[in-house]
Structure 1
Amino acid sequence: MEEALMALWAGLPIFMVHSLTSLVLLGVGIAVYMRFTRHDEVALIREGNVAAALSLGGAIVGLALPIAFSLAAAVSLWDLVIWGIVAFVLQIVAFRFVDLFLKDLSRRIEGGEMGAAVLLVSFKLATAFINAAAIAG
């Protein structure tokens, strides 16, 4: 039991730094993502817009998944940060791609169009799964 506690104590600082870094990456990524969209997700969600909630939820999971795989595969803290940034950029690209394909994606989300939200989330998650697999190698 004492050996297990010693191992825990030895690994705890690294665990805390990596966990905190991952959560900061996720929080900053979500905040910046919400600035890139033309619609105000939080206001729309407060009004009961399910399409906005689905879209933002997809972005959160779409960012968290590659960050989680980066955390598992990272050889350093900088490795984690760099791959987290790459994952964020690719989520923005996924949003812009769907916006080009559907036209006026923000207006559609504001209007509560579930079809647009589902397609957007599908692209976000597909991008996240592919990114996560690529990061994991």
Structure 2
Amino acid sequence: MLASSLTGLSAFAIYLVTALAMVGAFGTVYTLITPHREFHLLRSGCTAAVPAFLGAIIGYVIPLSAAMRWSASLADFVIWASIAACVQILAYGATRLLVPDVSKRISANDVAAGILLGGIALAFGMLNAASMTP
């Protein structure tokens, strides 16, 4: 019985490792695109950077999990994961249209700006995930 329960373990491991790599790649690209340096701000105790960065990460992971669930193959999953990353970058761009100095405000530890950016990222992620559902 245990052997039959573990038949999907290799697929599980492949998808999990791929998803973690995609989250790492997204986090890296996202921090390179935004003018504020998330990791520097987080290390220095900038409270505003926390909801901003976590919102982007969670806003990416929500559609990533939908892509994992609905993809027909690993390649399909990677394609949809990449699309989800692009949508999160668009969420940042949309926030910059609403609040052009949002990165400067986050760097100045304006928590409201961090919450706004994180909230918009979450909203985009939820809509993105729902759009992936068949």
Is the TM value for this pair above 0.5?
yes
TM norm structure 1: 0.93
2:108 is the alignment partner of 1:136: no
Shift of 1:9: 2.9
C-alpha distance in structure 1 between counterparts of 2:67 and 2:5, whole Å? 22
Pairs aligned (count): 134
2:53 is the alignment partner of 1:31: no
Identity of aligned residues (%): 34
**Residue matched to 1:103:** 100
**Residue matched to 2:81:** 84
Deviations 1:60-105 (CA, angstroms, capped at 9, x unpaired): 1011111111111111001110110011001001101111211122
**Residue matched to 1:113:** 110
Shift of 1:59: 1.0
Candidates 7, 16, 20, aligned match of 1:19: 16
Q: What do you get for the CA RMSD once the two structures are aligned?
A: 1.0
**Where do 5+ consecutive residues of structure 1 fail to align?**
none
**Residue matched to 1:65:** 62
C-alpha distance in structure 1 between counterparts of 2:102 and 2:96, whole Å? 5
Partner AA of 1:24 in structure 2 = A
TM norm structure 2: 0.95
Q: Which structure's CA Rg is the greater one?
A: 1
Q: Is the 8 A contact 2:67 2:77 kept in 1?
A: yes
Shift of 1:8: 2.7
Partner AA of 2:91 in structure 1 = A
Partner AA of 1:6 in structure 2 = A
C-alpha distance in structure 1 between counterparts of 2:44 and 2:6, whole Å? 46
Shift of 1:118: 1.4
User: Helix, strand or coil for the counterpart of 2:93?
Assistant: helix
2:9 is the alignment partner of 1:9: no
User: Helix, strand or coil for the counterpart of 2:13?
Assistant: helix
Partner AA of 1:63 in structure 2 = Y
